[in-house]
Amino acid sequence: MSCDINKGKARLTCKNAVSGFKAIYMANYDDYEFVVSSTSAGHLLTDLGTLTEVFRYELKNTGNSYTQTIQSSEDNGTTVYNQSLTFILTKLNAEMEFQVKMMAWGRPQIFVEAQSGQIFLLGKDNGCNVGGTAGIGGAMDSLNGYTLTAVGMEIDPAYYLNAGAITALKAMVSTAEVTE
């Protein structure tokens, strides 16, 4: 059967995993003809296809999180992957307000760079819906910024970029940036 499990995890591994995110890279939604594979070697994105530009947002604070929920239905014979990324962008300003509006109006594909160096893609086929809040706290050290959530539903789990795709992604970061 094509959906048989073919590997186990024999023992607990070293306690050297880290959490957190360095940055996200957003691409405007399109069919970029990404090259992917899903084998026992991993769920990988090996080529960025026709993608030529991404926009990088650094994430240097706490409050960012990612969850992928696997939802299977025996009755319907379906499985979908619900992807949810919460991220914080600091400093409200007019330029950033416009960019957040464009995120909400569009359905970006989002590459997430973890502290471990791994990068994975959310919304590969269907993009992500972005919503959230903007605000300034009452205390001097409160958040001045946006708490946003990007949600995607895909037929496959998030794809992890291989080393070549990571290098290619970082080379196509736009030089256009919001000023502070």
The pLDDT tens digits for 3-45 are 777 777 777 778 777 889 999 999 999 999 999 999 888 899 9
Centroid of chain to Cα 48: 15
pTM for the structure as a whole: 0.92
The pLDDT tens digits for 84-109 are 999 999 999 999 999 999 999 999 99
Q: Which residues contact 103 (CB under 8 A, 6 or more apart)?
A: 26, 130, 148, 150
Phi, psi torsion values for 26, nearest 5 degrees = -105, 135
Taking CA atoms, 68 is separated from 25, 33, 177, in Å, by: 18, 23, 29
User: Rounded CA gap, 118 and 83, in Å?
Assistant: 17
Q: Residue 98 belongs to what H/E stretch?
A: helix 94-105
For the chain, give every domain's residue range: 26-171
> Residue 33 in contact with residue 23, Cβ under 8 Å?
no
pLDDT of residue 68: 98
